[in-house]
Amino acid sequence: MLGPGAADVAFEVNGHPASVHVPPHHTLLDALRDELGLTGAKRVCDEGTCGACTVLVDGRPTYSCMTLAVACEGRSIETVEGLAHDGQLDPVQQAFIATDAYQCGFCTPGQIMSVVALLRANKAPTAEDVHRAVAGNLCRCGAYPGIVEAALRAARARRR
Amino acid sequence: MKSDHARVVRTRVEFEGEITDELALIQGDDVEAWPEGAALEKVGRPTPRIDGASKVTGRARYTHDLRLPGMLHVRILRSPYARARVRRIDASQALALAGVRGVLHRFNAPKAAFRGEETIFRDEVRFVGDEVAAVAATSEEIAAQALRLITVDYEVLPHVVDLEEAMDDASPRIDEKGNVEEAAKHERGDVAGALREADVVVEATYRTSTQLHNSFETHGAVATWDGDLLTVHESTQHVFGVRQGLQAALRIPYGKIRVLCENMGGGFGSKGGVGKYTIIAALFARELGLPVRCVLDRGEENLAAGNRSATLQRVSVAVKGGRITALAHDSWSNAGQGRWVADPTGPTKGLYDVPNVRARSYKVMANTGSLSAFRAPGYVEGTFALEAAIDEAADRARIDPLELRRRHAAGEHDPMSGLRYSLKRLIDCYDIGAKEIGWSRRKPGGLRGSAPGTRRGLGMASQLWGGSGLPPAYAMVHLNPDGTAVARIGTQDIGTGTRTIIAQICAEELGIDVDAVRVEIGDTDSPYAPISAGSLTVSSIGPAVRLAARDAREQLLEIAAGIMEVPKTELRMQRGSIGARGALRSIAKVFEDLQNYTVIGRGARMPNPEDVSMKTFGAHFAEVEVDPRTGEVTVERVVAVHDIGRVIDPLTARSQVQGGVIQALGFALTEERHVDRATGRVLSTSLEIYKVPTVKDVPKIVVRFVDVPDTEANNIGAKGLGEPPIIPTAGAIANAVSNALGIRVRHLPLTPRRLLQLVAAAEAEGAGGRGAARPS
Amino acid sequence: MKPFAYARPATVAEASRLLGRGSPAIAGGTDLLGLMKGGIAVPERLVDLSGIEGLRGWSRERGAGLRIGALTPLVDLEEDDRLARSLPIVREALADAATLQLKGMGTIGGNLLQRNRCWYFRDEAFPCWLKGGIRCFAADGESHYHAVVGTDAGCNRVTPSDLAPALVAHDAQVRLASARGTRTVSVADLFTDPALHRREEHTIRPGEILTHVVVPEAGLQRRGTYRKAMDRKAWSFALVSVAAAARVREGRLRDVRIVLGSVAPIPWRALEAEQAVEGTTVDDAQARRASELVLRDAVPLKDNAYKIPLARELVRRALLRLAGA
């Protein structure tokens, strides 16, 4: 039993062990943004409807605003901050730039994480597969055509 | 530059449909616009955003992301009543809560002017969500907890929230003068006569619903005082507007205020200036001596951060001899508690050459949150009503609706001012769009759909907007010794790619790579730039940036001429080098001896020409499939054609058009604020209930530009593209659905509920076996 | 959210001991956390079921029907080709349900036990009947998404689950375990009969854990189909949904079930329409006649009359699909 006060929770973030001291009512998004300073995942709806806070939990795209931090004990979390390696952007990130798959950029980290998860499971997605993957990631600027294009382009780049 | 002296000139400016004469301080001389077909190397080339990497890595820092040492957090107590007098507030229990640092409300807050009122906490709160008190605490959670400990004694007053109820004389009067106020009127020719003599008159009533911006980054600010210097980070479309608002509210000199906006997560018109949250953050920060963050949550965003007014519109169209002879348009907009109102009759007055026009627009007050500008305010609503009515008239007169419009779209003079257009390619937009969508397939009564019982239709609508930009706007460009450049201007990038466009224009003038230009914006310590709204950013700052870069280049060439001992007139700058007849020297080489000598270029936006009317035009064509039995509308394709002068970056311009179309798609089909009339509470404060389009709602969008520079407008030949792509889409979709079903669409959004109601009503009416879904 | 304690038991028995009033279970959390953020649910302790082994995945044993662990994420059910052969309606019902993220987090048990989406219920400021108040605010308020039938108790909520109508159409059951033992109820009976006038949506008792969903052999013999109308193309709760299932032999429908979602406080059986097509081969005219029997007792509110023709049309299409496939 934990709480209602703060407790230590240990998990892995972007391949590195991390630990936070949070009460049970704090979400993974709270922990990432406020405890770990990872502000890529955004708080937009804060109730699991928009996807701007999407991160991967054990590889699965997850709304971090609707996930309790304590429930992440021992799990592997991936955020947009962990995608680039040695200054080299992930093909999905590169494709987002090339196709201009954003305007204000606020939903972009969540969109990218959803696409990353899709491409790991599906090397050659169709546009329809991409739609399914990002239908839970709203974009108020309406960058959807670019996002779909970016996902397909990144998949092609990965296959090459 | 010859005349470097500063001088004040009068200039005609257009902002969101309003044309005014203003004074502007300028300096230097302008240069000729790049002509059509000019061989440009950076401008006009698809250029990925220079800040792309920061956005895709999560590094891009938004106001929401700011974490300052010791920072306090504010939550705001908002009125639960649509209208009430605040009689007493007891905050003692809230103040006693551990972690609470302060509470502000009408009985203890210092006076702070805000939009014509003396205080930010009203004694009579006028909508659910109106600010009543604010708490600063060490965490948002504690602040939220403290709100529940504040007791407020309200005297509840009668309210009205619905537009048409507010117009009813029997409803509570919110204002002594009544709830309805005339906002704009225009009359030309003899409308009554034209209506009398017409072959066909269509008169119809149209309704549009309240649309909520739902910027993904909610409104918010972080304020810090360093001694008497106030620094505010704010998610805004106008850092200088925020500064002005703070100056007015706090009565401190401009020199003591700095407003910053590095990145912002969407505004769409709603972030035009200071907010109450900004002032609250600044007041707490001053009182408590710590940084203070005040950021709205999603629910608050949809209560108190603006909206596009719901409208009721009556449009009459007279047709005689195959031409439109008169337009009459009366429009009422629910301004909520707003102090102004957008004008939905703008397109009726100016889009088509029609000799007889009468337009009246009214502001209606109600107990809901204020409207705020929402991307082409008025024009989105009004274009829908106008273009739907014109389609009705065309159908009744048995004229192809595009053909009817063509007869009124070729005029070379602005019907409002009588001035010649600097550039108007509306007919080109029609030609390109009609070909792309396959307009010749359109049949009165629509086409069969892909599944049994479904229908297919084509529709189009035209677009009129300003977008010519305005002074004042100033830019500074300085060169580093290695030939890289820094451009500094007090604009902000609201997601449109402003940074990239500045870099392109600089690079073009300096003959260097786009990558070699660093762009510093979003800071009131830079030269002034106007609000990023009304499609005026590129056309306002672009010309100033070009002049600044050019000024820097001229200075550099001057220096180089001396060093290289070549006449300046023979020198050219290209690809990072300076050269003359075979001799090429890199900029870095030129600077070798000068080292830290800094070349500073300055540029000011020149006044607009007086003798022309500068507008943007466009046309959208939509193809839809409709299932009249489930009420489902599927927009399959939208062809968007725009005439905005020169396109600076086709890549970001395409995004801008797609985004406009998609926001309009929401306005047309899914987005609607729901309010409980009995209590005035907004029911659709979440993104679950308030339905913005998802990726699956999006049609194939074909984007085309006429892409001819408007060389009379300004030295870059470009006009704005923020508003144009959201203006005609809803009209095109509504007309396509009307075409598909043979039932007129007069109320947006066209949800399955409304469509099923329309079909049921048409069937009830449709005697003699004339089924609604199968019109003759 | 208000602070609460958190427990993550490893067994059903341990979990059952921890559960109770003020101490609800959490699985995916996609509904409960929303209720907690909105101040509608204020638990003192959450009992996280995710640590319990053996409640994930599904199995089908001859004669014993299909057994699905309650903690199985929805997306696992949707993507499973073998399951789609055993009970195709699950994939169909999940295709337009929620979002990929929510389906990865949410479980089948949670989907059935999610609470209604009424905007008055979900707004803390409205003391509606279901929350202990005296009236339904939708009755004379804004009622676009509300019930048109079955609202005896004066609560006009609707069932939001996509799976519930689909599972009812296949006579599915749920296993409810507690320290006192295990019981099995039909999915239909998991929903509180509005006529009983209880301020609750489900019949699960405090201390009980929904451990499995079971579709008996007879239910698996039916062919089923699911139709959902939404007001945008993705990520919407149904305006109206219809699950229809029947044994189909030589075009004839037997054991017909027609179950509507989002029209009533419970998954709503269209009994008259079921009877009208029972034992028949459904053609166009037959489907139309039967669909016209749907929701004949409906009493729409100010804004939701559209649901009636919409439900009839979805039933007509579902029947034709059943007969034709």
Are residues A25 and C4, on separate chains, in Cβ contact within 8 Å? yes
pTM, whole model, 2 decimals? 0.97
Is beta strand A76-78 parallel, antiparallel or unpaired with respect to A7-13? parallel
Assign domain C221-324 to its CATH superfamily. CO dehydrogenase flavoprotein, C-terminal domain (3.30.390.50)
- H or E stretch including B330? strand B323-336
Give the per-residue pLDDT at B775: 34
Partner A contacted by C275 (CB < 8 A): no
Q: What is the pLDDT of residues C28-68, one digit of tens each?
A: 999 999 999 999 999 999 999 999 999 999 999 888 899 99
Sheet holding B616-627, edge to edge: B447-448, B455-465, B616-627, B632-643, B700-705
Give the HSE-up count for residue B540: Cα atoms under 13 Å, Cβ half-sphere. 31
Against chain C, the chains showing at least 3 CB pairs within 8 Å are: A, B
Residue C217 to residue B294: CA distance in whole angstroms: 58
* pLDDT at A138 exceeding the cut of 90: yes
Are residues B681 and C236, on separate chains, in Cβ contact within 8 Å? no
Select from C35, C56, C101, C236 the residue whose CB has the most chain A CBs within 10 Å, as the one to mutate to test that interface: C101
Q: What is the pLDDT of residues C90-108, one digit of tens each?
A: 999 999 999 999 999 999 9
Question: In this structure, is residue A70 part of a structural domain?
Answer: yes
Select from C114, C232, C301, C314 the residue whose CB has the most chain B CBs within 10 Å, as the one to mutate to test that interface: C232
Q: What is the pLDDT of residues A110-130, one digit of tens each?
A: 999 999 999 999 999 999 999
User: How far is CA A29 from each of CA B331, B535, C40, C60, rounded to the nearest angstrom?
Assistant: 45, 35, 21, 38
Give the per-residue pLDDT at B20: 78
**Residue after which a domain boundary falls, among A41, A62, A82:** A82
Give the per-residue pLDDT at B771: 38
Partner C contacted by B555 (CB < 8 A): no
Question: Domain B409-467+609-776 falls in which CATH fold?
Answer: Aldehyde Oxidoreductase; domain 4 (3.30.365)
- Report residue B3's pLDDT band, with 50, 70 and 90 as the boundaries: low
Second CATH level (architecture) for the domain C58-113+158-218 = 2-Layer Sandwich (3.30)
**Tokens 């890549």 correspond to what residue?**
B651
Domains B63-158+213-304 and B409-467+609-776 share a fold: no
State the nearest Cα–Cα gap between A123 and chain C, in angstroms.
16
Neighbours of B495 (CB within 10 A): 31
Give SS3 for A83. coil
* pLDDT at B583 exceeding the cut of 50: yes
Are residues B216 and A145, on separate chains, in Cβ contact within 8 Å? no
Against chain A, the chains showing at least 3 CB pairs within 8 Å are: B, C
Are residues C125 and B677, on separate chains, in Cβ contact within 8 Å? no
List the single residue in C with minimal CA-CA distance to A55. Answer: C101
Q: Which two tokens stand for residue C78?
A: 């949707």
Are residues B752 and C306, on separate chains, in Cβ contact within 8 Å? yes
Residue C27 to residue C108: CA distance in whole angstroms: 10
Are residues C232 and B697, on separate chains, in Cβ contact within 8 Å? yes
A57 lies in the same domain as A21:
yes
Residue B661 to residue B276: CA distance in whole angstroms: 31
State the nearest Cα–Cα gap between B69 and chain A, in angstroms.
12
* pLDDT at C25 exceeding the cut of 80: yes
Partner C contacted by B299 (CB < 8 A): no
CATH code (residue A49): 3.10.20.30
Residue B139 to residue B74: CA distance in whole angstroms: 8
Are residues C231 and B675, on separate chains, in Cβ contact within 8 Å? no
Range in B326-340, B475-489, B754-768, C23-37 with the lowest mean pLDDT: B754-768
Residue C121 to residue C130: CA distance in whole angstroms: 7
**Residue after which a domain boundary falls, among A16, A49, A82:** A82
* pLDDT at B11 exceeding the cut of 90: no
Are residues B683 and C123, on separate chains, in Cβ contact within 8 Å? yes
Q: What is the pLDDT of residues B272-306, one digit of tens each?
A: 999 999 999 999 999 999 999 999 999 999 999 99
- Is-contact A27 A48, C-beta < 8 A? no
Select from B81, B624, B629 the residue whose CB has the most chain C CBs within 10 Å, as the one to mutate to test that interface: B629
Q: What is the pLDDT of residues B429-482, one digit of tens each?
A: 999 999 999 999 999 999 999 999 999 999 999 999 999 999 999 999 999 988
A77 lies in the same domain as A97:
no
Question: In this structure, is residue A121 part of a structural domain?
Answer: yes
Mean pLDDT computed over C266-284: 96
* pLDDT at B403 exceeding the cut of 90: yes
> Quick one: which of B599, B239, B641 has its CA closest to B439?
B641
Question: In this structure, is residue A124 part of a structural domain?
Answer: yes
Task: Report the share of chain C in percent with pLDDT over 70.
Answer: 100
Partner C contacted by B139 (CB < 8 A): no
Give the per-residue pLDDT at B46: 98
Residue B439 to residue B431: CA distance in whole angstroms: 10
Cis bond upstream, residue C43 (ω within 30)? no
> Residue A92: what residue type?
V
Mean pLDDT computed over C190-204: 94
Question: In this structure, is residue A2 part of a structural domain?
Answer: no
Q: Give phi and psi for B325, each to the nearest 5.
A: -100, -20
Are residues B55 and A105, on separate chains, in Cβ contact within 8 Å? yes
Query: Diameter of chain A by CA atoms?
Result: 51
- Report residue B4's pLDDT band, with 50, 70 and 90 as the boundaries: low
Chain B residue numbers with beta carbons less than 8 Å from the beta carbon of A146 are: 655, 658
The DSSP symbol for A34 reads I
Give the per-residue pLDDT at B159: 97
Exposure string for B407-437, b = 16+ CB within 10 A, e = fewer: ebbeeeebbeeebebbbbbbbbbbbbbbeeb
> Residue B198: what residue type?
A
Give the per-residue pLDDT at B13: 77
Chain A residue numbers with beta carbons less than 8 Å from the beta carbon of C26 are: 68
Counted domains in chain A: 2
Task: Report the share of chain A in percent with pLDDT over 70.
Answer: 100
Name all contacts of B574-578 with Cβ < 8 Å and 24+ positions apart: B574/B511, B575/B511, B575/B512, B575/B513, B576/B483, B576/B511, B576/B512, B576/B513, B576/B516, B577/B511
Second CATH level (architecture) for the domain B6-60+469-604 = 2-Layer Sandwich (3.30)
Select from A100, A130, A131, A138 the residue whose CB has the most chain B CBs within 10 Å, as the one to mutate to test that interface: A100
Are residues B752 and C239, on separate chains, in Cβ contact within 8 Å? yes
A112 lies in the same domain as A150:
yes
Residue C116 to residue B353: CA distance in whole angstroms: 54
A102 lies in the same domain as A47:
no
- Is-contact C161 C261, C-beta < 8 A? yes
State the nearest Cα–Cα gap between C39 and chain A, in angstroms.
12
Name the burial class of residue B204, with classes exposed (0-12), middle (13-18) and buried (19+) by CB atoms within 10 angstroms of its CB. middle
- Residue A141's domain comprises 91-159
Are residues C142 and B674, on separate chains, in Cβ contact within 8 Å? yes
Q: What is the mean pLDDT of chain B?
A: 95
Mean pLDDT computed over B14-24: 76
The conformational region for residue B511 under phi > 0 = left, psi -120 to 50 = alpha, else beta, is left
Neighbours of A19 (CB within 10 A): 14
Are residues C100 and A136, on separate chains, in Cβ contact within 8 Å? yes
- Give Cβ neighbours of residue C202 (< 8 Å, ≥ 6 apart): C112, C113, C190, C191, C192
Are residues A24 and C46, on separate chains, in Cβ contact within 8 Å? yes
Give the per-residue pLDDT at A63: 98
* pLDDT at B770 exceeding the cut of 60: no
Q: Which two tokens stand for residue B248?
A: 């007015």
A78 lies in the same domain as A96:
no
Residue A116 to residue A108: CA distance in whole angstroms: 12
- Report residue B24's pLDDT band, with 50, 70 and 90 as the boundaries: confident
Question: In this structure, is residue A97 part of a structural domain?
Answer: yes
> Quick one: which of A150, A157, A12, A132 has its CA closest to A76?
A12
Domain map of chain C by residue range?
58-113+158-218, 221-324
Question: In this structure, is residue A128 part of a structural domain?
Answer: yes
- Nearest CB to C33; choose among A62, A66, A131: A66
**Chain A residues 2-21 with a CB less than 8 Å from chain B:** none
- Report residue B177's pLDDT band, with 50, 70 and 90 as the boundaries: confident
List the single residue in B with minimal CA-CA distance to C303. Answer: B753
Chain B residue numbers with beta carbons less than 8 Å from the beta carbon of C126 are: 679, 681
List the single residue in A with minimal CA-CA distance to C103. Answer: A62
Q: What is the pLDDT of residues C77-90, one digit of tens each?
A: 999 999 999 999 99
Mean pLDDT computed over C266-287: 96
Neighbours of B718 (CB within 10 A): 29
Q: Give the CATH number of domain B171-210+309-395.
A: 3.30.365.10
CATH code (residue A140): 1.10.150.120
Are residues A135 and C235, on separate chains, in Cβ contact within 8 Å? yes
CATH 3.90.1170.50 describes domain B63-158+213-304: yes
A128 lies in the same domain as A155:
yes
List the single residue in C with minimal CA-CA distance to A114. Answer: C101
